């Protein structure tokens, strides 16, 4: 856990907010999926020389081979997924949602504009927190800063649970039955090695 805490501190120092750090340092293709290689490259960029593998294992506890923002910072993931789901359900896309929020057509939104528009358009999330998470300069946002949501994969707990159930079933079906045979094979091999070594030892004496 110490290695991961140190990495998070470096990210916060460099990028101010976990979501900005995720987008700018880790998830460069805005897929909301980061591989170990991508994670390792980000750690190298940050100058982290500690236990990268140990930090990864803390994040990827179910051995998917990928991590999402939810693994790194659940609070940020929840608010991003809430806004994306609301925008696409209510307006059809994040772009259309931005057009509805940006009533004056100026192309940018201040935090106050964002908060008032989200209240008017019935998004129940924390508009202030969302603004702080996506505003790269901290003062305003444009559609460009929201466009990453177009390719963002929303975490689906039910699908993840089903995937884990399938992997567990495959493990039990394919590998567990083979374990007794494997152990027996190892035991026979060791026995043959021991028997073969005994005459050689006797001849040597």
| pLDDT for res 151 | 82
- CB burial readout 79-111, b (16+ within 10 A) else e: bbbbbbebbbeebeebeebbeebbeeeeeebeb
* pTM, two decimal places: 0.67
Q: What percent of the chain lies above the pLDDT cut of 90?
A: 47
Predicted confidence (pLDDT) per residue in 143-165, tens digit = 988 988 888 877 665 444 444 44
| pLDDT for res 193 | 55
Label residue 57 by pLDDT band (50, 70, 90): very high
| pLDDT for res 109 | 92
Question: Is residue 202 pLDDT above 60, yes or no?
Answer: no
d(CA 165, CA 5): 30
């Amino acid at each position: 856990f110490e290695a991961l805490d140190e990495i998070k501190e470096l990210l916060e120092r460099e990028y101010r907010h976990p979501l900005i750090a995720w987008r700018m340092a880790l998830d460069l293709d805005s897929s909301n999926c980061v591989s170990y290689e991508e994670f390792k490259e980000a750690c190298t960029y940050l100058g982290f020389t500690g236990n990268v593998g140990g930090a990864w294992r803390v994040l990827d506890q179910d051995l998917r081979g990928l991590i999402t923002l939810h693994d790194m910072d659940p609070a940020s993931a929840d608010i991003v997924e809430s806004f994306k789901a609301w925008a696409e359900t209510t307006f059809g896309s994040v772009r259309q949602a931005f057009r509805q929020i940006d009533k004056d057509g100026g192309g940018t939104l201040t935090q106050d504009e964002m908060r008032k528009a989200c209240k008017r358009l019935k998004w129940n999330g924390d508009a202030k927190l969302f603004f702080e998470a996506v505003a790269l300069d901290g003062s305003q946002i444009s559609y460009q800063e929201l466009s990453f949501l177009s390719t963002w994969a929303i975490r689906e707990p039910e699908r993840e649970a089903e995937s884990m159930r399938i992997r567990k079933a495959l493990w039990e079906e394919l590998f567990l039955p083979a374990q007794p045979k494997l152990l027996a094979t190892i035991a026979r091999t060791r026995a043959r090695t021991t028997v073969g070594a005994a005459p050689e030892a006797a001849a040597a004496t």
